[in-house]
Structure 1
Amino acid sequence: MSLHVGEIAYTNTLPFFFELDRSSLEQHGICITQNVPANINHMLASGELQAAAISSFSYGKNEKDYVVLPDLCVASAGMVHSLLLFSKVPINKLEGESVALTTSSETTVHLLKIVLKRFYQVTPCYKQEKPDLANMLTSHTAALLIGDDAIRERHADAPYVYDLGQLWYEWTGLPMTYALFAVRKDALESKVEEINMLHQSLRKSYLRTAADGYRQISRYLERKGMASLSFWDMYFEALLHQPTSKTEQGLLYYFQLCYEEGFLEREVPTLSKWRPTTSVIKYKQ
């Protein structure tokens, strides 16, 4: 039986996958599927995947079923450049206004709702839309885009553009974690060697891409035409791909606010972390 792994099809997780030896992983029974965060989240929750890079909110919603792979995350302490709210009015004037939400991710949608209600005391009317900025702003006062969709539209002609990573950091003083790597608990015992290999490979890929200041990966992305080399240098410089006590503190605070707002059914006071081993699987609560 193979270990089915989900890859988020956004550049913020690319350092973990850029240097993977995919053919070697396949030979060892590790199969990788790429999709947008919302679909990857669903596939892991349903058991179609056994491990995946997932939205942070999806971990909070399913934490009883998951463990987190250590040393891997996507976070920022300030601007993230790919979670953008485009608005026709100032953010503090969005009370009762119509805000279009991307269908691509749950983490950012709930982050926006928290930022607007808790920090700006405004509650708009939300509606989910496909991530097409022009269409979104035709019918709505503001629109939320994430990932590569946001990067493509970063120079759009909108009166106000807000970076949610920056807003979160300004109000909390804490980093925000957008994605984690999770493994289903029911796959731990039967897939120990594959999980070990996956974890080591993801970390090795990240370390290799970071070793040259992300220059190789930035050149690769520049050739794809989405943004300039200087943008990608700035983009990866802003991201945190290794968790710290501060990133965990920020993530748990995000979960706390999600619970208080009714977005999560249960509190998430800690992260269940997988401990790499070649014998008996252990994880801690």
Structure 2
Amino acid sequence: MLRIGAVSYLNTKPLIYGLRERLESNQSGVCGQLSLNLPSRLATQLRVGELDVALIPSVEYFRGQSDYQIVSDAAIACRGPVWSVRLLSRVPVRKIKRLALDEGSRTSVALTKVLLWEMYALRPETVPLTMEQTPEAVDADAVLVIGDRAMHPEPGVYSEIWDLGDRWCRWSELPFVFAMWVARRGVDIDRLAELLQQSRDEGVANLESIAGQYAAPHGLTNEDLHHYFADNLHYHLGPREQSGLELFRSRCSHLGLIADETTAAGAENE
């Protein structure tokens, strides 16, 4: 039985549409269990062998690339503004000296560092923003927030707000890939790609229904959430997404983010 982990945020709902039921019913000969967690925690679980397959941040795929294999062309990407990944700055961005980073996604952390360096040659001091802290309460010039809480920043607090998907796409002229389905090498993934792509395709075909189910609990209108799914996000890992992924890997490597963060993550888990 495959142990499969997926991101618990709204953006993954179309990707895992009916997936739990398909796995439990042994559809297409694939039997497994689905669990939900934060992106960074999924990456740790995959690395230590607590999961066989996971929807992990792209930067975590880079860090374990020799031990991992991409399972499917189902992914979480954007080709412009993404809405749910934002840099909120109390000062003009070029003047940021202290940056608080949301602990939920290491890819968004790396993306922020890459863009600040590429656009302004900035490498500010960083501090963590925990899930228990509000962005307004943290002592920093700017805050990276992701997921549901990035969608509604406190009005009147920030000098600049960057949508990081939009900033990347404008700078690189390529899509950005936030996460993809990855398996540890040696795991039997026969027929799994088909199952994951089937869930993605049916989820994309039922965006209105998914929006109706999840909008109100997250303080969104059905229309807003449907717009987020249909227009802000892109769920296919195609050739241009792969080019964007490779450029991101190159820039992360250039800044030492892949090796540095691997070492730090290992220390945290000892």
On the 8 A contact 2:79/2:232 being kept in 1, the answer is yes
- Where does residue 126 of structure 2 map in the other structure? 126
CA offsets, 1:121-172, max 9 Å, x none?
A: 2221111120356355441111111112312x34544322111011111111
Letter in 2 for 1:42: T
Q: Does 1:243 align with 2:237?
A: yes
- Where does residue 10 of structure 1 map in the other structure? 9
Structure 2 matches for 1:155-170, cutoff 5 A? 155-159=154-158, 160-170=160-170
Shift of residue 186, structure 1, vs aligned partner: 2.1
On the 8 A contact 1:72/1:243 being kept in 2, the answer is yes
Shift of residue 33, structure 1, vs aligned partner: 1.4
Question: Runs of at least 4 residues of structure 1 off by over 6 A?
Answer: none
Moved more, 4-13 or 55-64: 4-13
Shift of residue 261, structure 1, vs aligned partner: 0.6
Runs of 5+ unmatched residues, structure 1 = 267-285
CA offsets, 1:42-66, max 9 Å, x none?
A: 0001111010100000000000011
Q: Does 1:201 align with 2:199?
A: no
> Is the alpha carbon distance of 1:155 and 1:204 closer, same or farther for their aligned partners in structure 2, counting shifts above 3 Å?
farther
- Where does residue 267 of structure 2 map in the other structure? none
- Where does residue 231 of structure 1 map in the other structure? 224
Q: Does 1:259 align with 2:261?
A: no
Give the structure-1-normalised TM-score: 0.83
Shift of residue 19, structure 1, vs aligned partner: 2.3
Q: Secondary structure at the match of 1:207?
A: helix
When the two chains are superposed, the root-mean-square deviation of aligned CA atoms in Å is 1.9
Runs of 5+ unmatched residues, structure 2 = 261-270
On the 8 A contact 2:56/2:182 being kept in 1, the answer is yes
CA–CA distance in structure 1, aligned partners of residues 135 and 237 of structure 2:
37
CA–CA distance in structure 2, aligned partners of residues 205 and 155 of structure 1:
35
Q: Does 1:217 align with 2:210?
A: yes
Give the structure-2-normalised TM-score: 0.88
- Where does residue 181 of structure 1 map in the other structure? 181
Structure 2 matches for 1:1-285, cutoff 5 A? 2-20=1-19, 22-28=20-26, 29-94=31-96, 97-131=97-131, 134=134, 137-151=137-151, 153-159=152-158, 160-187=160-187, 191-193=188-190, 196=191, 198-212=192-206, 214-236=207-229, 237-265=231-259
On the 8 A contact 2:17/2:202 being kept in 1, the answer is no
CA–CA distance in structure 2, aligned partners of residues 261 and 37 of structure 1:
22
Q: Secondary structure at the match of 1:174?
A: coil
Shift of residue 7, structure 1, vs aligned partner: 1.0
CA–CA distance in structure 2, aligned partners of residues 206 and 116 of structure 1:
33
Q: Secondary structure at the match of 1:241?
A: strand
On the 8 A contact 1:133/1:143 being kept in 2, the answer is no
Q: Aligned residues: percent identity?
A: 27
CA–CA distance in structure 2, aligned partners of residues 19 and 26 of structure 1:
10
Shift of residue 18, structure 1, vs aligned partner: 2.2
Letter in 1 for 2:213: Y
Shift of residue 71, structure 1, vs aligned partner: 1.7
CA–CA distance in structure 2, aligned partners of residues 234 and 73 of structure 1:
18
Q: Secondary structure at the match of 1:17?
A: coil
CA–CA distance in structure 2, aligned partners of residues 142 and 163 of structure 1:
13
